[in-house]
Amino acid sequence: MNTNLQKAIEVMFGYSDQGTPKNIEKIVKKQDWYQKYTWIQSHRDMYFEWFEENLKKNWEGITTYKPTNKMARHKASDEFDLCYGFPTRKMTIEDFNQLVPVGQMEERMSKKEFDDCMDWLRGQTCSPHGIYRYDLERYLNGLPNND
């Protein structure tokens, strides 16, 4: 396996829920190997931000052409995602602590998920230290706001 491709896959495993396995080269030889791993949307977004930046210098072995601008790098990341990307799973309450700091929500959620959640939380009782897990669980399960 090309070293650029291997590094891209190793970094991708670091963003997965399952973590980086010991023998990546052996795993990626199996059919549909990428379907056995998952990640949340924000981790996917962070990975592909890294990936597109990485393509500026390390494109050989990942794509057949040098992506010379942002649009070309984005297209290459879409192609990589189709070939190797992990399925994105829906967030659950298990992704958070009992009292969820707003900073943790911003880190784990995509910008859209965070903004939608903050709109949903308007009127809810909140701690000065964060959001109560019960309220966040209701939001993640698509339940109505209590207030």
* pLDDT for the residue 92: 84
Strand partners, 130: 127
SS3 state at 132: strand
pLDDT tens digits, one per residue of 38-68: 999 989 999 999 999 999 999 999 999 999 9
* pLDDT for the residue 5: 93
One digit per residue, the tens of pLDDT, for the chain of length 147 reads: 889 999 999 999 999 988 888 888 899 899 999 999 999 998 999 999 999 999 999 999 999 999 999 999 999 999 999 999 999 998 888 887 778 899 989 888 999 999 999 999 888 877 888 888 888 888 998 988 876
pTM of the entire predicted model: 0.69
Cα–Cα separations (whole angstroms), residue 90 to 43, 46, 53, 55, 102: 12, 16, 26, 28, 19
Q: What does the DSSP assignment read for 60-84?
A: BTTBSS---SHHHHHHHHHHHHHHH
